[in-house]
Amino acid sequence: MSNFFMNDRKSLINDVIEGAILTSPYKNLAMLDVDTAIRVVIRSDWDKSKVALISGGGSGHEPAHVGFVGKGMLTAAVCGDVFASPSVDAVLNAIVAVTGEAGCLLIVKNYTGDRLNFGLAAEKAKHLGYNVDLVMVSDDIALPDNKQPRGIAGTVLVHKVAGYAAEQGKSLKEVTHIAQQAIEATSSIGVAMRGCNLPGGDDEEQENDRIDSGYVELGLGIHGEPGVSVIKTHNTHKVVETLVQAMQKGLKTKDRLAVLINNLGGVSPLEMNQITKELVHSEMKGAIDYLIGPAALVSALDMKGFSLSAIVLDKHIEEALLADVEASGWHPLVKLEKLPLIKVKKITQKEKVKASVNTQVGEIIKTVAETLVSLENELNKLDAKVGDGDTGSTFASGAKDILELNEGNKLPQDDLSALFGEVGNRLATVMGGSSGVLMSIFFTAAGQKVSEGGNLAQSLLFGLARMKHYGGADLGDRTLIDALQPALEALDKKEGDYQGAAAAAAKGANDTASMQKANAGRSSYLNSDSLKGVKDPGAVAIEKVFAALFESNK
């Protein structure tokens, strides 16, 4: 089974091209309507008055090459099948479609199929009377002794530099010379921990698992060709350091650089940003003037890897790279500067509280905390049926902390407002997940209400209202609210009525067992069959707490 969203394999590339053209923000692209097997995208605003630039190759490297067609970059892109060079006829039709008296330059990645097909098309175009030249990009330095280095992500830098020269109205000879200078100034190297999936391929037959777990492969090609070596690490710092050391061998101390951080397709933005951070702190940092990316400019389908491409700057190359273009795949250069920091004073609402003694309040705290601690295993087992099995541990962790403070006489027992505030602060710190935050909101808001003159039940109901507001749950949603709200309402109706509160909490907890759908919490992801007959663990915790309070106040 393929890992691709795909219709018919035969129409895949035409579909991809149509999507790219329709979504181009510059509305400056068109597809040659000549033959379904000839897939050429050209500038719709092209008038043949300047040197035309054509590139292309196999598809699967998006946004290359269609994404770089536009004013200031390519005039046309010729698209082959996935990882397959376009035909000679396709390249020839592209040349004829866009070439005027100024001539045409073909920018070709150094792969055998591209060299042969673009080369033969160039010769045929010359025979037809067109002025055509060709340069081959060979920026891959993974194999330094290779007589035919591959063209990889650095190709797009050549597109940009040559595109600027052509846009300035320079002759074909001048544009070709400038493109060759850019090629000679560019070096690239890539790394990956997993190859790519081919559209329509069988997962079991593909070689994504060629690279052993825990390793990365250095210098593999943009079609998944094996690399030059493997490194036993996934550590970003070590991987970037290895690439930088390889690149520095061909650089001079005085060289100023623009570096492209290229996503080969399967690396998350989170990882790419850390890769960027490691690059700008590497041994190369003193030479880098500009960054391009991190972004996918020349991808390899969904390959889990990235490449670095450095181009040595001179006045003309820098000017060319900085120039605006109308090509959706290009990412503007960013000047590398020191990380801006704005110092501020850390804000915290934690206030020092003065401990005080209130024996009655201390006993209530003890009863509640000890009850929750004793319920840890019971609640975990119950939660394992309808959640992730940690409700008991979550409540117990908060209860143990409050119990320890209480036993150490470190709580403001005689000041309810300060007590609730301190309990809220502690629970936000020691209870895990969303439960700690919700309970913190509950007690913090209740404390605020007490300070405004509210009685105990009214203040706790206010805290519950704020917890419901931010948490999104309400009565009937199969949460602890189904037990807590009726219990607090019973206390509000009759002060000190723990018997009524315990009965109301028990009824609310029992009712959750017959609720067919949870609308909040982890249980909301389960179907009704999984919930049937099982009480909500949070509601059970509230039920047991009020039952314990009733027993202790008989």
In this structure, the strands spanning 186-194 and 304-312 are antiparallel
Which three-class secondary structure state does DSSP give residue 496? Answer: coil
- Helix pair angle (315-322, 172-184), 10° resolution: 100
Q: How many CA atoms lie within 13 A of 9 on its CB side?
A: 8
Cis geometry, peptide bond prior to residue 340 (ω within 30 degrees of 0):
no
Q: Is 127 part of the annotated catalytic residue set?
A: no
Alpha-carbon span 99 to 102, nearest angstrom: 7
From the list 177, 223, 281, 316, the catalytic residue is: 223
CA separation for the pair 364, 358 (Å, rounded): 10
Cis status, amide bond into 237, omega within 30 of 0 = no
Cα 16 to Cα 25: distance, rounded to the nearest angstrom: 16
The amino acid at 378 = E
Q: Which of 451, 436, 438, 439 is nearest to 351 (CA)?
A: 451
Q: Return the bridge partners of 192, or none.
A: 217, 305
User: The tokens of 349 are what?
Assistant: 């609402």
Say which residues have a Cβ less than 8 Å from residue 329's Cβ, sequence separation at least 6.
62, 63, 64, 66, 67, 68, 156, 297
Are 204 and 220 in contact, with CB atoms under 8 Å apart?
no
285-to-247, 414, 444 alpha-carbon distances in Å: 13, 60, 48
The distance in angstroms from the start CA to the end CA of the chain is 67
Beta bridge partners of 312: 257
CA distance 259 to 124: 37
Strand order in the sheet with 334-335: 229-231, 216-218, 186-194, 304-312, 257-263, 288-295, 334-335
Structure tokens given for 395: 């409540």
Where does residue 453 rank: exposed (0-12), middle (13-18), buried (19+ CB within 10 A)?
A: exposed
CB 425 within 8 A of CB 466: no
Catalytic positions are: 223
